[in-house]
Amino acid sequence: MRFPNQIATNVAIQIGGIPILLRCAAPEFVEMVQARYAGFFSEEDCAPDEAIAQFDIELLPAGEMQNDEEVQVWCDRDLWHLRRGDFWVEWDSKSRAGRIRQELNPYALNSVLRIVHSLILAREGGFLLHAASVIKDGHAFLFAGVSGAGKTTIARLAPPDTILLTDEISYVRPTNAGYTAWGTPFSGELGRIGENASAPIQTIFFLQQGSENRLEAVDSVTAVRRLLRNILFFSDQSTEVGMVFESACEFIKRVPVRQLTFVPDVSVWELVA
């Protein structure tokens, strides 16, 4: 597949403290990025050597791509290929340079960013997690669960003094002292992107809705299994899959884990913090 060289305006999207540089000649693309990633978007110059990844964007006319194709992610040495019906991406993880072919569609770019960040985090010992997360009293709390577990509900019930990081996809990175959660622009049913903020993770809760508010301990083996079930990772490359597994095990060793059964009422937050 050929990608014409359309280097023009540089824009940077910084999620989790990691800048990704996008270059596109189309002003409508810049406008779309600015609207979709407010708070995570910068028009300031971002030097290529400062960005963990840099992409030239080729915009295609509406209706040209086959939107029913399932996502595929594979690697040939250092060259990653990301493909779905609404995008086609090539990214060299060694040189950090890549190209994205898509229509003017925020959902396509959103998915590309999730996949690229998941690959970057795998090598750092971090991950993207199906979890709501908030900051309260200087600490981050994660609420993980599959669809319907109550991630958006728990975020909606959060006290006014909390900072919403996300109600859908949490961004987890390791530090020397533990793990940090970062805000993301990946929103769920709440329809509100998170704040571009971060804090050390205090606790992760696995959610379950029930008839009462209750906290329970979770053994480490069960915790790792449940965590892996909620980690977003799109490749079946054995090296990267192994990294994700090791990251999950290390995370559970270092972060307190609880099962949180709750009723949809603000009183649940009395158990959280």
Query: Domains in the chain, please, with CATH?
Result: 9-122 (no CATH), 127-272 (3.40.50)
pLDDT of residue 104: 92
Mean pLDDT of the 101-114 span: 93
Q: The pTM is what? A: 0.92
Give yes or no for a contact between 141 and 133, defined as CB atoms under 8 angstroms apart. yes
Give the SS3 label for residue 164. Answer: strand
Could you give the CA distance from residue 218 to residue 112 in angstroms, rounded to a whole number? 34
Region 21-38: what's the mean pLDDT? 91
Q: Which two tokens stand for residue 78?
A: 């250092």
47 falls in which pLDDT band (50, 70, 90)?
A: low
- Mean pLDDT to the nearest integer, 61-79: 85
Please write the tens of the pLDDT for every residue from 86-96: 999 999 999 99
Average the pLDDT over 228-232 and give the result.
96
